[in-house]
Amino acid sequence: MLKHRGFPGRLPGTDFQFIIRRANPKGVTPLTRRERFRDRKPADKRADAAFMEALWAHFGDQPFERGNLDAGRLCWLFDREVIPAEDPFDPASYDALLMIDPNAGRISFPEIFDGVR
């Protein structure tokens, strides 16, 4: 499992984690799309925005390996702002390649993607 050095571990002042320390011995948590309903708590929305900002700052529009990025946090963005970068895609692999869709990111998080073409 690739460890993304320099990537923030969590949202400061909260328990919302962005990375995991070690591989899950019971197996990899598969990435699935989680619906973001309008009545989500503001703290959850802030965590999504902070995670998206960290992904964009760290990887930009280039493909990246899932590695030690937290599956629970990725699932809130998966299949919208974060998309598979390979075909076939294995959602239950730490080696899976992902990438950010700047167009979808601009719609959901305009404060992060302002000025990005």
Interior/surface letters 67-101, b for 16+ CB within 10 angstroms, e for the rest:
bbbbbebbbbbbeebbebeeeeeebeebebebbbb
Domain residue spans in the chain? Answer: 42-111
Residues in the chain: 117
What pLDDT score was predicted for residue 14?
A: 87
**Torsion sign over Cα 49, 81, 58, 24:** positive
What pLDDT score was predicted for residue 116?
A: 56
**How far is 60 from 26, CA to CA, in rounded Å?**
31
Provide the 10 A C-beta neighbour count for residue 4: 18
Give ∠ CA 52-89-84 in degrees, rounded to 5.
25
**In Å, how far from its chain's centre is CA 101?**
11
46 closest CA partner among 112, 99, 106: 112
What pLDDT score was predicted for residue 15?
A: 87
What pLDDT score was predicted for residue 1?
A: 85
* Beta strand 97-100 pairing with 82-84: antiparallel
The pLDDT tens digits along the chain (117 residues) read 889 999 999 898 888 999 998 888 888 999 999 998 989 899 999 999 999 999 999 999 999 999 999 999 999 999 999 999 999 999 999 999 999 999 999 999 999 987 655
